Structure 1
Amino acid sequence: MKFTVFLSGLLLLFLLPDWTESVDTVEINTLARIINFFEQNYKRVDTDGHPRQYATAINVPKDQCQQNFIPTQNTFLTQENAANVKNAIADETNALYQGADLIAAGTRKVVISKKKQYNMHSESLLLNPADNSPMSKLLNKRKDGCSVFYTFESPCVDTCLNPSSSHNIINALKKWKEHDGIKAFVFKDFWKFDTEKDLQTAFKQIVDHVPLFRCVSENQCYACKGEGDTAIDALCLP
């Protein structure tokens, strides 16, 4: 009997590393390649080549977010036509694309009067209303898939991450947290009006619900951390 218990203990020791590796988390090098795929195929730019704010989100089989997956035109988001995506998000009267496995948005011009108008941000276009948004519909298509939300510039403090704003994305992040499978919220640059603001506190509102990453190139992403009492990593701050 003692020998049997000892053997079981040995088996547990050998099986434990495999169990640990099976936890559903995005592989960071694969994430960098996915974000680069977005930038290469869907990036919103002016006619002079100046980049403009846009956001995309995917819900794909989880193996496409794990180690060694290389996204290409033949292996990744094959039902989405890049030209259709770019044309849709460039149209500021709608600025929204909803496909099979991908959604995307630019900024939508909302005219209140001849003297008053504003741009609805791409994050809000994709994530609101929280219970019936393009994102919620995308997540419903694959209950345990890998869901990645990418925004070119970080969500703005005064609107997207402001709980008192009618366009905030916090309730949508709470809903996304309930989704099974791999999750990653990613940004590249900082919203230009926020570089002097308290992004440590603001970004914590994202990390409370989904893991936050900053991807700066096809080869480099950073896990922003910030869970619990830990701080947002300096690489994810201005």
Structure 2
Amino acid sequence: MYLSGLLLLFLLPDWTESAGVETVDITTLARIIDFFEQNYKRVDGDQHPRQYATAINVPKHQCQQNFIPSQNNFLTQEDAVNVRNALNDETKALYQGAELIAAGTKKVVIKKKNYNIHSESLLLNPADNSAMIKLLNKRKDGCSVFYTFESPCVDSCLNASRDHNILKGLENWKKHRGIKAFVFKNIWKRDLEKNLSTIFKQIVAHVPLYRCVSENQCFSCKGEGNTPIDAHCLPPKKIRDEL
């Protein structure tokens, strides 16, 4: 009995580590998001940034410590010019490549009214046959990173009652076996006064949420279970205090 107890004591650390869920290396994640911004960023004629989203499914080691993405070793099958052209074509606004998908915003007319379908929705819908599902099926255990320049909007993307919401798409993504990361850079300006500390938990319920603000700084938004969403992923405290 004593020997069995010692054996369990020595084996327990390894068992606990293997039972944990693998997550992206946050320094590498910052480099990946910077790669997106350097190569695929959507801008208007005056060079002002515009909303876009991208997602990748790459070998696991490309999301782990010490990987430095470059033109020579990362997303080498994707042509950046083709990606940007697709993002700026508002009649389709969708690019589907070998390891990367990307979307701008798509203009549609419904009952004589003009609408924009948001980039997150273009990638994650229809939920059971989306560009994201097709990408994930190409590498069952790869590292998948979804990046949106502006955080998903509360009124449409994160609203379960709206036709173009992304919640079912996130639920399907959760089933993917590999490393997962949902990332945003800016908080959508119309959501600055909304209760994002609660609403963002709808994302965290399915996939880990991060905010990347520069080429060398990302934050884990946390928020699992009763854990609060990290302050770095919320509007500035001054705005929250005024609510």
TM-score interval, smaller chain: over 0.9
Report the Cα distance in structure 1 between the residues aligned to 2:214 and 2:19, rounded to whole angstroms: 26
Report the Cα distance in structure 1 between the residues aligned to 2:21 and 2:129, rounded to whole angstroms: 29
Please tell me whether residue 148 in structure 1 is matched to residue 172 in structure 2.
Answer: no
TM-score (norm 1): 0.93
Cα distance, 1:7 vs structure 2? 6.4
Note the 1:167-178 alignment, pairs <5 A. 167-178=164-175
Note the 1:7-26 alignment, pairs <5 A. 8=7, 11-12=10-11, 16=14, 19=17, 23-26=21-24
Aligned to 1:119: 116
Counterpart selection for 1:51 from 49, 52, 69: 49
Report the Cα distance in structure 2 between the residues aligned to 1:109 and 1:179, rounded to whole angstroms: 31
Counterpart selection for 2:161 from 164, 177, 197: 164
- Distance 1:174-1:18 versus aligned 2 partners, 3 A rule: closer
Report the Cα distance in structure 1 between the residues aligned to 2:185 and 2:19, rounded to whole angstroms: 27
Aligned to 1:179: 176
Counterpart selection for 1:61 from 56, 59, 62: 59
Q: What is the total number of aligned residue pairs between the two structures?
A: 235
Structure 1 residue runs of 5 or longer lacking an equivalent are none
Letter in 2 for 1:146: C
Cα distance, 1:201 vs structure 2? 1.4
Which 4+ residue blocks in structure 1 deviate beyond 4 angstroms? Answer: 4-7, 20-23
Note the 1:217-232 alignment, pairs <5 A. 217-232=214-229
Counterpart selection for 1:129 from 116, 126, 130: 126
Aligned to 1:192: 189
Report the Cα distance in structure 2 between the residues aligned to 1:219 and 1:231, rounded to whole angstroms: 24
Report the Cα distance in structure 2 between the residues aligned to 1:75 and 1:18, rounded to whole angstroms: 33
Alpha-carbon displacement from aligned partner over 1:51-84 (angstroms, at most 9, x marks no partner): 0000000000111000000000000000000000
Report the Cα distance in structure 2 between the residues aligned to 1:91 and 1:151, rounded to whole angstroms: 18
Cα distance, 1:12 vs structure 2? 2.8
Report the Cα distance in structure 2 between the residues aligned to 1:95 and 1:109, rounded to whole angstroms: 9
Report the Cα distance in structure 2 between the residues aligned to 1:18 and 1:72, rounded to whole angstroms: 34
Alpha-carbon displacement from aligned partner over 1:25-47 (angstroms, at most 9, x marks no partner): 10000000000000000000012
- Distance 1:11-1:113 versus aligned 2 partners, 3 A rule: closer
Cα distance, 1:5 vs structure 2? 4.5
Letter in 2 for 1:207: V
Aligned to 2:89: 91
Alpha-carbon displacement from aligned partner over 1:148-198 (angstroms, at most 9, x marks no partner): 000000000000000000000000010000110100000000111110111
- Distance 1:216-1:21 versus aligned 2 partners, 3 A rule: farther
Report the Cα distance in structure 1 between the residues aligned to 2:138 and 2:172, rounded to whole angstroms: 15
